[in-house]
A and B are shown apart, each in its own frame.
Chain A
Amino acid sequence: MKQQIFGLLIAASLSGCAGSVKEVSCAGLDWEDFGYQTGKKGKSVRTFDPYRDGCGENLEPGAMNQYLDGYTRGIIEFCTYENGYELGSENKALPDVCPTELKPAFAKGHSVGIIEFREKLSKLKRFNEDEASMQERTSAEKAADTSYGK
């Protein structure tokens, strides 16, 4: 059974104000799968930083290369036109994780998604406006009918 080695690091929060102690596993992980899953979910390659920095020499030999092999496979699967489009159509921000050569297609998908999202949004807005004005008209007509009837 592989020995579990843990590393400690102080992970500074983004604001840089507070620090928290986090424990990471330095050996025994399926590094390639870990990298693959990280890449496939579109997370940053820097997810590995805590392991690299926290474990130092305790990091299992070859861990980083295995992680990167897996990550590269994962990120290639993630950075597609379709996934960009999906993110864009949900009005999600374009993540800066894709390698240069995949970025154009991914960003293009994202832009198309964003445009469609905006079109949908404006359609919806127009629809809502139309609905509102229709309702207004209907109410006004009803009011007029009532007064005429009276």
Chain B
Amino acid sequence: MSIRRTVLAAALFLTYTFSLSEGTAAAPQFEIKLGKPEFVLPQFTGPYQEREASIALEEYETAERLRELLDAGKRQQVLAELEKFYSIELSPAMLMLQAQIYFSLEMYDKAEATYLEVLKRMPQLIRAHSDLGQLYLVREQPQKARHHFARAVALGSNEALVHGQLAYLNLTQYGPYSAISSYQQAAALEPDNFQWQQGLLAALIQARMYDAAEALLDEITARKPNMPELWLNKATLALHKEDYRRALTSLEMALLLGNEDQRNLQTSAKLHLQLGSYDRAMALLEKSFGRNDFDIASVTEYFTWLSHLELWDDLKKLLDIAGKHLDKLKPAQQSRYYLHMAQLEVQRKRFTQADQMFNRSLNLDPTNGECLLAYAEFLTKQKDYIRAELLYMRADALSSVEKQAQLGRAQLYIEMQNYKSALELLRQIHQKYPDSAGVKDNIEIIENIIALDKSNDTKLR
């Protein structure tokens, strides 16, 4: 009769997170849930085997007594019985039992020492390696855990849990290629176990083996069509393949099934915008804005998008929605909101309102370089050169927009026909940014204009 081992009902649960905005599936996170321990005493097996441990014939009686105590849930009493012996007096099988009870009682130091004691005596004991791996996982020592799971597999362990855990640790410590085979092994041993399929899927995606991942995903989705995570995976794969329509369909399916992750909502909205279904995009963004975790940076991306497409009505709608949640924004974020409001008003030729919005934006964030430039450009067009010049000079002090500010000011001088100042500034720009396209040409043009003006003046005299 083969040995029946003490089983610690420790299970590894893999959860899976997705990062659609980055277009890749993140590494799965795991948590270990220690379930109710189930003790099964080892039994006398006759012939001694190096890779398994059996109790000694003379321990049989003690083992029977301990079994009764364990059945009655008296683990402490069992420990007390075992602790009467020096470790060397116990068979490795009984020591394993002792270690497992320590483990189940969360006496991790003692459990570790006892497992190591067993391995000192039986270095090839598979069960000790796999249990110790488990213990190190609990104690968050993944490198040691990996070492012992790898030893267990090398010695012939054929347990799906051991292969699965080794796969996970390989995935996190050495990358996807070292994990795929172990996940496949675990999945082969337990084909119905969803954890291994998820792990394998994560490894395949990380290894960029998209076709294999897609095939596996199709198989899993057919069996579990109501899991939003699977549809998110499908969306991720479609994004990798730049199949945006399929990505969006899968993403919408995930949303329909209850996934309401903010980033997924926003990615979905972005895909709708890209594919031209603006109404749905607006509906999703409205839903997204209503939540505490919405990200203004991504919102402004949509403002810019809509501005470029000249979809002013949609931009207005979006700004109105965002406007209801302004109190949730930091001053710098509010400043960006008002900048877009100003730009919208400019488009609608409501210049007084635009001016007010620009001002409001700058009041909220005086270092908003983008706003300084846009406002200065607006004032230049309004021929309010003095205020425009002041704004360009303010922007000049910000390294992020310094060059644009100088170029804008040069343009302003040209508009003002102050060619001398424009030339001087362009020369400065050329000196500082010699590779800037067009600056040199402009310098030559202005030099010619100045020269022409001089010659005209001379002729007139």
On A, residues with C-beta under 8 Å from B are: 45-46, 48, 68, 71-72, 75-76, 99-101, 103-104
CB-based contact B86/A101 at 8 Å: no
CA distance A114 to B120 in the complex (A): 31
When distances are taken between beta carbons in the complex, the residues of chain B under 8 Å from A68 are 86-88
Please report the C-alpha to C-alpha distance between residue A46 and residue B86 in the assembled complex, in whole angstroms: 8
User: Which A residues touch B48, using CB under 8 A?
Assistant: 101, 104
Set B59, B87, B92: member contacting A101, Cβ < 8 A = B92
Q: With contacts A101-B48, A103-B56 known, is A45 near B120, CB below 8 A?
A: no
* A residues less than 8 Å from B87 (CB atoms): 68, 72
CA distance A100 to B56 in the complex (A): 6
Query: Which 9 A-B pairs give the minimum distances between C-beta atoms?
Result: A100-B91, A100-B56, A45-B86, A45-B88, A99-B88, A104-B48, A72-B88, A101-B122, A101-B92
Q: What are 11 A-B interface contacts by the 8 Å CB criterion?
A: A45-B88, A45-B89, A68-B87, A71-B88, A75-B88, A76-B121, A99-B89, A100-B55, A100-B93, A101-B121, A103-B56
CB pair A48–B86 under 8 Å, yes or no, is yes
In angstroms, how far is the closest chain A Cβ from the Cβ of B112? 13
Give the CA-CA distance A45 to B48 in the complex, in Å: 23
Q: How far apart are the CA atoms of A103 and B87 in the complex, in Å?
A: 15
Is the pair A99, B91 in contact by a Cβ cutoff of 8 Å?
A: yes
Main secondary structure of the interface of A (DSSP, over half): helix
Contacts of A99 in B (CB 8 A): 88-89, 91, 121
Q: Which residues of B contact A (CB under 8 A)?
A: 48, 53, 55-56, 59, 86-89, 91-93, 117, 120-122
Assuming A75-B88, A100-B59, A101-B48, what are 15 further A-B pairs, CB within 8 angstroms?
A45-B86, A45-B88, A45-B89, A48-B86, A68-B86, A71-B86, A71-B88, A72-B120, A99-B88, A99-B121, A100-B56, A100-B93, A101-B91, A101-B92, A104-B48
Cβ–Cβ < 8 Å partners of A75 in chain B: 88
Q: A48 to chain B: which residues have CB within 8 Å? A: 86
How far is B92's CA from A103's CA once the two chains are assembled, in angstroms? 12
Distance (whole angstroms) from the CB of B274 to the closest CB of chain A:
67
Choose among B55, B91, B93, B121 the residue that contacts A72 (Cβ–Cβ < 8 A).
B121
Query: Roughly how many angstroms separate A46 CA and B49 CA in the complex, as a whole number?
Result: 28
Shortest beta-carbon distance from B56 to chain A in Å: 4
With A72-B120, A72-B121 given, is the CB distance from A100 to B92 under 8 Å? Answer: yes
- Complex CA gap A71/B414 in Å reads 95
Q: In the assembly, what is the distance between CA of A72 and CA of B121, in Å?
A: 8
B117: A residues at CB distance < 8 A: 72
Report which residue of B86, B89, B92 has the largest number of chain A beta carbons within 10 angstroms of its beta carbon: B86
Give chain B residues whose Cβ lies under 8 Å from the Cβ of A103.
56
